[in-house]
């Protein structure tokens, strides 16, 4: 199995300006993501950016860089541009690794690519992990999903799904999760076949996508199957704030 990792990296961030170039124990964040991706089985790891500052930094530490347009409406559109610029075939597999996940395990990058390769009926693959608290089930920033027995996604939502009908105290954040169902949350790593990326940019925004603000729902609206399996290793969250950044720095300083 062959696949390419693409790491989108934008300089602008309202909560953490210049995020990809923030220092993490002597290395810019984007370099740490690139190094983790390089430990996977990918035949190629490419940083995609529209900012010359990120390009310069990435070239300095030896990465392959692809400059993209700055006006993409979504991250998936940016990924498709890179696949086209690289001349990837329709059946090639591309893994999107977020540029703010410096601790991403290489094993899960391999896993999501392998899952897509092993499921030809799917056009997209992603990963999930258990939801441990009722507060997370109710949190709209925690994207929930439901799959069938074949690990194909039935739906993604910011709302609690499936909703436990007999839960009495639905407003209590301290309530316990029902024990008769294993609720799961989405992890934002994707593998795509390039054909699906090429199709994605030709489709209008789907009503469910616009409502939930979840790009993956455009694929489902168009009938593209999404494989979603449990991650074989815990996946640390990405860095969105200064607090997140300092937590990662502390964790690496103790190693």
Domain ranges of the chain: 4-253
Gap between the terminal Cα atoms of the chain: 33
Within a 13 Å sphere around the CA of 3, how many CA atoms are in the beta-carbon half? 28
DSSP-assigned letters across all residues of 85-150: HTT--TT-EEEE--TT-TT--HHHHHHHHHHHHH-TTEEEEEEEEE---HHHHH-TTS-EEEE-TT
Residues 6 or more apart in contact with residue 80 via CB below 8 angstroms: 197, 198, 200, 201
Asked if the 4-253 domain carries CATH number 3.90.550.10, the reply is yes
Asked if 86 contacts 188 with a C-beta cutoff of 8 angstroms, the reply is no
Query: CA–CA separation, 167 vs 175, rounded Å?
Result: 9
Torsion-angle region of 249 (φ positive above 0: left; ψ -120 to 50: alpha; else: beta): alpha
Residues 6 or more apart in contact with residue 179 via CB below 8 angstroms: none
Per-residue pLDDT for the chain (255 aa), expressed as one digit of tens each?
899 999 999 887 777 889 999 999 999 999 999 999 999 999 999 999 999 999 999 999 999 999 999 888 888 999 999 999 999 999 999 999 999 999 999 999 999 999 999 999 999 999 999 999 888 998 999 999 999 999 999 999 999 999 887 775 555 656 778 888 899 999 999 999 999 999 999 999 999 999 999 999 999 999 999 999 999 999 998 898 899 999 999 989 876
Asked if 238 contacts 188 with a C-beta cutoff of 8 angstroms, the reply is yes
Q: Collapsing DSSP states into helix, strand and coil, what is residue 172?
A: coil
């Amino acid at each position: 199995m062959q696949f390419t990792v693409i790491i989108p990296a934008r300089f602008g961030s309202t909560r953490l300006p210049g995020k990809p170039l923030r220092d993490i124990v002597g290395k810019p964040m984007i370099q740490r993501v690139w190094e983790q991706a390089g430990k996977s089985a990918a035949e190629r790891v490419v940083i995609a950016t529209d900012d010359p500052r990120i390009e310069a930094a990435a070239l300095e530490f030896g990465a392959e860089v692809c400059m993209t347009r700055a006006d993409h409406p979504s991250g998936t559109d940016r990924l498709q541009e890179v696949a086209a610029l690289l001349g990837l075939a329709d059946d090639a597999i591309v893994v999107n690794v977020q540029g703010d996940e410096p601790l991403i395990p290489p094993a899960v990058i391999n896993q999501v690519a392998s899952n897509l390769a092993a499921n030809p009926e799917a056009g997209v693959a992603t990963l999930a992990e258990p939801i441990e608290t009722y507060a997370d089930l109710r949190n709209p920033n925690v994207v929930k999903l439901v799959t069938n027995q074949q690990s194909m996604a039935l739906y993604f939502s910011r709302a609690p799904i499936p909703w436990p009908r007999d839960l009495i105290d639905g407003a209590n954040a301290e309530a316990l999760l029902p024990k008769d169902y294993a609720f799961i949350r989405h992890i934002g790593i994707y593998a795509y076949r390039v054909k699906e990326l090429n199709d994605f940019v030709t489709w209008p925004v789907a009503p469910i996508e616009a409502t939930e603000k979840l790009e993956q729902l455009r694929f489902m609206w168009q009938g593209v199957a999404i494989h979603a399996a449990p991650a074989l290793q815990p996946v640390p969250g990405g860095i969105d704030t200064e607090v997140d950044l300092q937590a990662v720095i502390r964790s690496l300083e103790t190693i």
